[in-house]
Amino acid sequence: MRIGELSKRTDVSPRSLRYYEEQGLLTSSRSDAGQRHYSDAAVQRVSLIRQLFDAGMSSRVIATVLPCVDIPGDLGVAEETFTAMMRERDRIDADIAHLIETRDALDVLIRANSRHRAELSTAPEPVAQSA
């Protein structure tokens, strides 16, 4: 499939797909006219790349992790990617812990605001003074 079709099937812009290729995350073949052509497997590959980017991984880290998908039986690749994956998992755990702390702090503010709004809605209206 050409880049436009891959873009439509994955909801990823052609510009991003070209970037993935530049970073070595995605490969294509070229027609005689120089147009990129992707296999059907590229759809799943792009989905995985997007998921890893959405998790906060950089293209450099993704390039380190993807060989475990490409060469699953290579022990050297497995060991190298395992270390990278564990490091990223620890980073994601830390991000989650920080998000939970932030949510908890926001919950405190929401409760305080709710009490304040309730007090304001039950307070008597001020009496207007005549001039």
Query: How many Cβ atoms sit within 10 Å of the Cβ of residue 4?
Result: 12
Q: Which residues, 6 or more positions from 128, have their beta carbon under 8 angstroms from its beta carbon?
A: none
**pLDDT per position as a tens digit, 39-79:** 999 999 999 999 999 988 999 989 988 887 776 677 777 78
Q: Please state, rounded to an integer, the average pLDDT across all residues of the chain.
A: 89
Confidence grade of residue 131 (pLDDT, cut at 50, 70, 90): low
| CA atoms of 100 and 35, how far apart (whole Å) | 46
Confidence grade of residue 7 (pLDDT, cut at 50, 70, 90): very high
| CA atoms of 38 and 21, how far apart (whole Å) | 11
Look at residues 68, 69, 57 and name the one whose alpha carbon lies nearest to residue 23: 57
| CA atoms of 74 and 68, how far apart (whole Å) | 8
